[in-house]
Chain A
Amino acid sequence: MTDDIGVTPAGLRKWSPSALRAGRAIGVLSSIALTLMGLLLLTFLLARFLPADPVYAIIGDNADRDTYERVYRELGLDQPVYQQFFTYALKVVTGDLGMSHITGMPVVRDLLEVVPATLELAIVAIILGSAAGIPLGVLAGTNQNKPIDHVVRIIGLIGYSTPAFWAGMGILIIFYAQLGWIGGAGRQDPYFFGEVPTVTRLVTVDALLAGRVDIFLDALRYLVAPALILAYNALAYISRMTRSFMLEQMNQEYVVTAKAKGLSRGKVIWAHAFVNIRVQLVTIVALTFGAMLEGAVLVETVFAWPGLGQYLTRGLMFRDMNVVLGSVLVIGIFFIILNMLADFAYRQLDPRTR
């Protein structure tokens, strides 16, 4: 018996399916490792060529020469660049991303704080953005040039062009300062800080796990505004892309045929046209989610949300290269995971890719 993949030219050895699977897994892992190492190398080199001195960011303005030289050596900057990278890469392999001088903590420990904060925000935002954006896009795409299409496009345009910073301040002024409906800055009321055990580092989930509904509701009040702003931005992009995918499908012959067969409009749209854009939508949603991880910095700044975007930006501002490299690595890993999930979804949604 020969499976599809096992068919090889005559004379070459045939591999068993399990060996092939193992080979594929090794190939995928090697490819991931190479991608991450390439990402690290590129970021490392870019960081080293920046005309900024990380030593002064640590020692302040008035430190004397002795202090400068000690910190310079401590950071390993007296070593050749290739050696600095080699030392760093070796540490990364062992799970040590170095110390951050903007927090004084190991970067790994910082990431364990900031990544869940951003994930909590981004997960809620992507669910809301997709739940609203996809139906709106379908609605617009199936009603081209009708009033509803224009309304959806305007909604998208506003969401796409409204500066997150401006929107954030506006929401804070109305819903926090005037109405008192939402929380101001941070992830929760400071009086609740440390009240529930840290399990997942997602404040809402930890509150529920501890059975503290009051803390859960409080966390929701802080989460709702930044999540809605990110969600609206995601909605704008997702609805626009969905509309364009649907327009393409609605002009295909199979849709005309389905209509001619007398199928209901709903069935034509959802059971035929929409089914065929699911793969593309998975890509769009995955990319939007990935972009939120490092692109939410303005929202995080306005709402003082201690997330990954803010952490990475501060790392860049204060020339904390361990923070920059660690954050880039995490974002890279997330993109790889998202790609893998998208690939998996493709295979489930489209039999041709299996």
Chain B
Amino acid sequence: MLRTLALPIVAAAAIAVVPVQAATQPDALVIGMVMDTLTTFDPADVSALEPSEVVANFYDRLVEIAPADLSQVLPSLAESWEYDGEGRVLTFELRSDATFSGGDPVLAEDVAWSLQRVLKLEMVAAGELRQWGFTADNAEQSFVAVDEDTFQVHLPEDIAPELFLVTLAGTVGSVLDRDEVLRHEQNGDLGRNWLISAAAGSGPFTLTDWRPNNILIATRRDDYWGGAPQIRRVMLRHIPESGSQRLQLEAGDLDVAKGLNTSDLGALANKDDFTIERVQGFGFYVLALNQEVEALANPLVREAFRHMLDWPGLAGSVMQFSGIPHQNVVPQGMVGASNALPYDFDLERARELLAEAGYADGFSVSVYPSSASSPFMELAESLQATAAQVGVNVEIVAGNNADRFRNREDYQIFVGRTTSKLPDPLGTLQTHASNPDNSDESRNTNLNAWRVAWDTPELTAMVDALRKPLDPEKRQQLIIDIRELYDAQSPAIIPFFQRVDAFARSANVEGYVGSPIWVTRWDTVTKQ
């Protein structure tokens, strides 16, 4: 018997006595996250939060946005830039000491080719350039290398050049090592296939190893033009379960946990060893009312829904770390924004509005939460409970409903989260208020106003005017006018929280600053 048990006992003892990694190494940064969306290192094909952060550290862009001040555009690969008299040509002077990880210098032709490539590939990021009138056809005339250090952009449309400048601060503006990428081109794919598992940028880190949905290891560049980062190695670990991430953070095996739910964030918030960071995003949690449903097309009914939302209750519970109460279509912190919360949770007022609209006895409607996960289900359930008190019978259709929001015939009310990465009010105003063609055939599924079949000719014209060069004061007034008109029209897309992306970090980690345009960098991180 003893002989039978001897082997397991010895093995267990050996496992127990070998010391467990008590804390991450001082020159390593270990981040726990859900890596489901990390599928490539190609800036032309990146749209989600997690891959944007990774790409932001392998590549540089011409300019950066200061996370604390969105109006401040900072130099990066470009030392300086200027507009011509009409504002249609932007000229960038590149710094001369920047090199790619392969050793070659970063040249203007790399910049031009990288932006042309985005348009030619027509991948996800292409839309960010196409919105300013760039196309695959005009790409070569629009992005021009004047000499080794001078790069020019010729704007194809009469837009405010500042708008394009801030676009370049996002991942779409990443500069690739042209020669290195083309060495790995297959069948004219401009290196797309190679960049699924490789990177060729001038950023402060290089890709060392990557196993999809498992682990990514990045190593610092000691010769980085901005100075070698303090952190030598960054490890991203795929940990899908929030509770597991929290345990790892508490045990010291993670420095940053980015996939925590409200309950785990709440638990960590009360501990001195951890800091909860809230990164304000440019999207909203919205109630989207499909205008093809007769009752919802009534402005009084839409107004009633604004008063049915128990946002104070939600702000103290499920939305504590996911959003901040917000009731208009311009994100906080931007020019023309308003932090006012004029729509109280007021069921009596909602009841009056429904009666005025001819629905005194209420009606039945289906609500589709974006997914079955938090906080969308809780938001739908809250609405179901409050609407029932004013006679509106809400049936929740649980499931992964994000796709339904793109097909008008597939939903009635959608509870979800919208996104914009443009650090300017135009970003959210375009996607929420603009709808140039409300016909079914136009299929403008990237515009939320189209998705809810909300015809907005006046708002669309005003948003369009916002794209043009304007005097700053006039521009600010126009933004305020759009915001107020949006409210006055009892919108079919009702924002009630502004998106926040929260994460927890160990108190000994400094300089990990979440970027609202998702380009969080690791070279600024230090560990005590």
B residues apposed to A, CB below 8 Å: 11, 14-16, 18, 20-22, 25, 28, 30, 32, 36, 39-40, 47-48, 122-124, 126-127, 130, 196-197, 208-209, 211-215, 217, 235, 237-241, 243-245, 247-248, 250-251, 253, 400, 402-403, 406, 418-420, 431, 443-446
Cross-chain contact B237 with A190 (CB below 8 angstroms): yes
Contact for A56 among B21, B40, B402, CB less than 8 A? B402
Cross-chain contact A220 with B11 (CB below 8 angstroms): yes
Cross-chain contact A102 with B39 (CB below 8 angstroms): yes
Contact for A104 among B123, B196, B237, B403, CB less than 8 A? B196
- Does A90 sit within 8 A of B, measured CB to CB? no
Given known A60-B124, A70-B122, A102-B36, contact A304–B211 (CB-CB < 8 A): no
Contact for A67 among B127, B239, B402, B444, CB less than 8 A? B127
Cross-chain contact B21 with A105 (CB below 8 angstroms): no
CA distance A218 to B123 in the complex (A): 42
Chain B residues with CB below 8 A from A103, complex form: 39, 212-213
CA distance A182 to B406 in the complex (A): 46
Cross-chain contact B122 with A304 (CB below 8 angstroms): no
- Does A88 sit within 8 A of B, measured CB to CB? no
Residues 62-80 of A, flagged 1 when their CB comes within 8 A of B and 0 if not, give 1111111010000000000
Cross-chain contact A105 with B237 (CB below 8 angstroms): no
**Closest 4 A/B residue pairs (Cβ):** A103-B212, A104-B39, A60-B47, A306-B214
Chain A residues with CB below 8 A from B21, complex form: 189, 191
Given known A59-B47, A105-B197, A194-B209, contact A304–B446 (CB-CB < 8 A): no
Q: How far is the CB of A11 from chain B (nearest CB, A)?
A: 60
Which of A37-45, A231-239, A311-319, A339-347 is near enough to bind chain B?
A311-319
Given known A104-B196, A304-B241, contact A172–B20 (CB-CB < 8 A): no
Cross-chain contact B47 with A302 (CB below 8 angstroms): no
Q: How far is the CB of A197 from chain B (nearest CB, A)?
A: 13
Cross-chain contact A220 with B15 (CB below 8 angstroms): yes
Cross-chain contact B446 with A64 (CB below 8 angstroms): yes
Cross-chain contact B251 with A177 (CB below 8 angstroms): yes
Cross-chain contact B238 with A194 (CB below 8 angstroms): no
What is the chain A residue whose CB lies nearest that of B208?
A: A194
A residues apposed to B, CB below 8 Å: 51-53, 56, 58-68, 70, 100-105, 110, 113, 169, 172-173, 176-177, 180-186, 189-191, 193-194, 214, 217-218, 220-221, 224, 301-304, 306, 310-311, 314, 317-318
Q: How far is the CB of A302 from chain B (nearest CB, A)?
A: 5
Cross-chain contact B446 with A214 (CB below 8 angstroms): no
Given known A62-B446, A110-B212, A193-B209, contact A185–B239 (CB-CB < 8 A): yes
Cross-chain contact B400 with A52 (CB below 8 angstroms): yes
Given known A103-B212, A314-B213, contact A65–B443 (CB-CB < 8 A): yes
CA distance A125 to B10 in the complex (A): 19
Cross-chain contact B47 with A173 (CB below 8 angstroms): no
Contact for B240 among A101, A190, A310, CB less than 8 A? A310
Chain B residues with CB below 8 A from A183, complex form: 20
Chain A residues with CB below 8 A from B237, complex form: 185-186, 190, 304
Given known A64-B130, A104-B197, contact A113–B211 (CB-CB < 8 A): yes
Chain B residues with CB below 8 A from A194, complex form: 208-209, 217
Chain B residues with CB below 8 A from A177, complex form: 247, 250-251
CA distance A104 to B213 in the complex (A): 11
Chain A residues with CB below 8 A from B244, complex form: 169, 172, 184-185, 302-304
Chain A residues with CB below 8 A from B22, complex form: 180
CA distance A61 to B40 in the complex (A): 17
What is the chain A residue whose CB lies nearest that of B253?
A: A184
What is the chain B residue whose CB lies nearest that of A117?
A: B214
Cross-chain contact B403 with A52 (CB below 8 angstroms): yes
What is the chain B residue whose CB lies nearest that of A220?
A: B15
Cross-chain contact B251 with A176 (CB below 8 angstroms): yes
Q: A185-B237, A224-B15 are in contact. List 19 more A-B contacts (CB 8 A).
A: A51-B403, A59-B124, A60-B124, A62-B446, A100-B39, A104-B40, A105-B212, A113-B212, A176-B251, A181-B16, A184-B247, A184-B251, A185-B245, A190-B217, A193-B215, A218-B18, A220-B11, A220-B15, A304-B244
CA distance A64 to B208 in the complex (A): 33
CA distance A190 to B238 in the complex (A): 11
Cross-chain contact A217 with B18 (CB below 8 angstroms): yes
Q: How far is the CB of A75 from chain B (nearest CB, A)?
A: 14
Q: How far is the CB of B44 from chain A (nearest CB, A)?
A: 11
24 example contacts (A-B, Cβ-Cβ < 8 A) are as follows A53-B403, A60-B47, A61-B419, A66-B122, A66-B130, A67-B122, A67-B123, A100-B39, A102-B39, A113-B211, A177-B250, A177-B251, A180-B22, A186-B214, A189-B21, A190-B215, A193-B209, A193-B215, A194-B217, A217-B15, A220-B11, A302-B243, A302-B244, A306-B214
Cross-chain contact B18 with A221 (CB below 8 angstroms): yes
Chain B residues with CB below 8 A from A224, complex form: 15
Cross-chain contact A306 with B211 (CB below 8 angstroms): yes
Cross-chain contact B196 with A56 (CB below 8 angstroms): no
What is the chain A residue whose CB lies nearest that of B131?
A: A64
What is the chain B residue whose CB lies nearest that of A222?
A: B15
Cross-chain contact A310 with B213 (CB below 8 angstroms): yes
Chain B residues with CB below 8 A from A64, complex form: 127, 130, 444-446
Q: How far is the CB of A63 from chain B (nearest CB, A)?
A: 5
Q: How far is the CB of A223 from chain B (nearest CB, A)?
A: 10
CA distance A100 to B92 in the complex (A): 39
CA distance A301 to B213 in the complex (A): 11
What is the chain B residue whose CB lies nearest that of A101?
A: B39
Given known A102-B213, A113-B214, contact A184–B248 (CB-CB < 8 A): yes
Chain B residues with CB below 8 A from A173, complex form: 247
CA distance A67 to B445 in the complex (A): 11
Given known A104-B39, A186-B237, A304-B239, contact A63–B20 (CB-CB < 8 A): no
CA distance A182 to B20 in the complex (A): 7
Most buried by B among A53, A64, A105, A182: A64
CA distance A51 to B368 in the complex (A): 14
Chain B residues with CB below 8 A from A52, complex form: 400, 403
Cross-chain contact A317 with B446 (CB below 8 angstroms): no
CA distance A31 to B419 in the complex (A): 51
Cross-chain contact B214 with A104 (CB below 8 angstroms): no
What is the chain A residue whose CB lies nearest that of B442?
A: A65
What is the chain B residue whose CB lies nearest that of A110?
A: B212
